[in-house]
Every structure is written in structure tokens, then in C-alpha cells.
Structure 1
Amino acid sequence: MSRTCYTECRMSGKLFLILGPSGSGKGTVISYLRRNLTEAVFPLSCTTREPRPRERDGEVYHFISKGEFRRRIDAGEFLEWAIVHNDNYYGTLKDPIMASLDTGKMVIREVDMQGVESIRELLGPERVIAIFITAPSWETLKERILKRSSIPDAELAHRKASFEKEMAYSPQCDFVVTSLEGEIPKVCREVEEIIRNEMAAEKPPMGEVY
């Protein structure tokens, strides 16, 4: 292996996509990873939904209008984008992620199922690791969702349909982690271990210097 080739391999980072149905614990996992993987990059999302209480622009999301979102779609600025719950747009800006990957960093991003294939196609499957987090059943997930807030029956039916669609897609992911009730700390550690192991696989064996 030439020094040039080694440098290119070493500088190629990986994008870890965290996905799964609403209520599976994705947000808790991301919060855990932020605390424990301080070397990782967590790019912000753009969304057209209204900020929730205590949310501030630039912390987790960039809140923009639908008109601005569509302008950025037309300009090719998104790595992926989708229309999800309540007809809101969500998207991942391309440039910040590419800059981080090209300097060998681990990038962690929560993403909707719709975006995984487009990201794989753009970046190549060797740079993208999809980690699917799920509950063991719809009934378990439904109970978690209703504990957070009351939801109209129509919205609950929509989420059930999304759950079934996402579960059908889960075999296409690189890893599937089941979030059993009361075991979210274990899930967080499992996801962290997956990410660390995948990043370590990028490095050459000890003692081999090119």
C-alpha cells in the first residue's frame, strides 16, 4: 500500500444513520452519543415545523419556511430530504457532512427511512452505516407514544402504518437494535459499541505503517 493510498483511507470518515419508528428511543440514544462520543460530528437538520417549547434555532434544528426549504431543494443543497409527520419537511444539508467525512470524522445523524437509500447512493455503502432501533411490538411502541402526549386516533393510525413500513425495511439496515422496555441504557451502549467498532475497522493493524 502506498502512503497516498493509506492517507486517503485514513481520511475517509463514516456516516452513521440512526433510524427507527417514533417512540423507539432514537432521541435518547442521540443524546447519549453526544455525551459519550465527543469526537463525533452531529450535523443539524433543517425543518419546516414549528419549534417546540425550549427549542432554539441552531441547537438541533434550523427552522426555516417551506419556501426556503424548496429553494434549497432546487439548489441541490440537501444530502437527503423527506416530508414526514403533518406534512413537514426535514432535510440534511450536504456540505457540512461532506467536509467532516473528508477529514476522517465519524458523523452521526438521525434520519428518516426515506433518506437512507439516497444517502447510500450518493456516498457509497462503505461510508454509510444504518442502525435501526425498534420496539419489540406496535403495542409497546403505542404505549410509549401515549405516555409522552395524547395523540388523535388518526395520527396514531398513521404512526402504526409507518411502524409497519419501517419494520419491513429494517432488514436493509446494517444493524438492528431492539429497545426492550426499561433497557434503553443498554441500547445506548450497544449503539456506541457498534459505532466505535466500525470506526476502528477503518484503521490499519497495529505495527503496519505505510
Structure 2
Amino acid sequence: MPGTLIIITAPSGAGKTTLVKGLLERDPQMFLSVSYTTRDPRPGEQDGREYHFVDVATFRALRDRGEFLEWAEVHGNYYATSKVWLKEQIAAGRDILLEIDWQGAQQVRKSFSDAVGVFVLPPSLEALESRLRGRGTDSDDVISRRLLGARGEMRHVGEFDYVILNDELRRAVDDLVAVVKASRLRYANQRLRHLQYFDFLQQD
């Protein structure tokens, strides 16, 4: 049975990475897709774990060879998803979680129409700014650009299947776990997983 692809999107600073970590800790059947990026690693990040960190020339070479399912430029850096790896994982029955921006989500859904889209909203723009400043990793100019971009990103929330308001972390993780459970209970998945319970559909 093919696996489920969960797409999770949020403006920078909304807590997406923390939510994903919480989900992975609670659901051993969910695996994280590791994207490519040209941005510098943040403190504590490792190549091949959070991202595949590459320079711009390498990224463009991979892109031009058709290695990516989607790619986008976000805040001056490139991000992309490996097409071959993702298709192999889904075909093997693994549930994959893909952290991606709204532009990438649009492109991914062209190839994975059954993907489940989740958008994470911050409780307010003021809270978002506070979180960005609390990181201590970005300059004032970068934070200003991220806040400006966040307004545009959040206008695409209606393109997603589920919306999680990240105003309290534990509740938000609970909501994300619930979304994953619900996606596994969709009719198509259940019929493939438990075919014996659907024998009545073949009866006259």
C-alpha cells in the first residue's frame, strides 16, 4: 500500500520545525523528507538531517538535471525536494512529512494529488516577530523581510486542507498528530490496508 504524504507549511517563525519534531517523537511511522537548501546551517543543524546544505552552483546543477520535484527561492535562498527519493518512499508504503513553503506545496500537489496539506498559523504577527527576534540568528533587515513575506504567505492558507493555530505548543502538536491519524483513516487508505472488511462491496 502506498504511503501518505503530509505537506506542512508556515511562515518563518510560526513554529513549524518545533511542531514537526513533536510529531516525529510521537509517531515512529512518520518520516521526514530532507530538502536541499543553499542557506547556511543554523547552530545545531547537521547536513543530511535538517537539510542537505549545498552551494548555489551545486543546487542549480541538480535542478537543471531534473532531480527536483519542486524548487523555490525564499528570502534569498533556494530550497528543493528530491523527486526520485520521495516517490520511492511513498511507493514503499512510508508516510512522509514534507516541510515546504506554499509555492512548493502547489508544485508538489501536481505530482501527488492525494497529499494532505497543513498550514501552521502564528497567533498574531506580533507573536511572530517576537519569535523571530528570540532566535537571535537574524538581523533586523532579515526579520523585517520575513514579516513582510509572512503576510503574503498567510494569504494562501485557504489552499490547505487543515489549519493549525500554534498559540500553545502541546495543543498544536496534538492537532498535528490528529491530522496524521485522520489522513490514515481516509477511505482509499483503509480499503487498501484492510481489504477483507470491504468484501461486501463485491457482493450483489
TM-score by length of 2: 0.89
C-alpha distance in 1 between matches for 2:181 and 2:46: 30
Q: Is the 8 A contact 2:7 2:99 kept in 1?
A: yes
| Cα distance change, pair 60–153 in 1 and its aligned pair in 2 (3 A) | closer
Report the number of matched residues: 195
Matched, 1:19 2:9: yes
Cα displacement (A) at 1:151: 4.0
What does the per-residue CA deviation read over 1:92-126, in whole Å, with 9 as the maximum and x for residues that have no partner?
A: 111111011112221101101110111111222xx
Aligned partner of 1:49 in structure 2 is 39
Gaps of at least 5 residues in structure 2 are none
Gaps of at least 5 residues in structure 1 are 1-10
Aligned partner of 1:190 in structure 2 is 175
User: Residue 196 of structure 1 aligns to which amino acid in structure 2?
Assistant: K
What does the per-residue CA deviation read over 1:142-166, in whole Å, with 9 as the maximum and x for residues that have no partner?
A: 1121122164332222112211111
Matched, 1:112 2:101: yes
Aligned partner of 1:63 in structure 2 is 53
Aligned partner of 2:86 in structure 1 is 97
Which of structure 1's runs of 4+ aligned residues deviate more than 4 A?
A: none
| Cα distance change, pair 187–163 in 1 and its aligned pair in 2 (3 A) | same
C-alpha distance in 1 between matches for 2:16 and 2:47: 20
CA RMSD, aligned part only? 1.7
Aligned partner of 1:6 in structure 2 is none
Provide the identity percentage: 31
What does the per-residue CA deviation read over 1:34-58, in whole Å, with 9 as the maximum and x for residues that have no partner?
A: 2111112212111112223332221
Equivalent residue runs for 1:127-142 within 5 Å: 127-142=114-129
C-alpha distance in 2 between matches for 1:150 and 1:115: 25
C-alpha distance in 1 between matches for 2:138 and 2:58: 29
Cα displacement (A) at 1:191: 0.5
Matched, 1:160 2:150: no
Q: Is the 8 A contact 2:133 2:143 kept in 1?
A: no
Matched, 1:75 2:62: no
C-alpha distance in 2 between matches for 1:37 and 1:98: 21
C-alpha distance in 2 between matches for 1:37 and 1:29: 12
User: Residue 88 of structure 1 aligns to which amino acid in structure 2?
Assistant: N
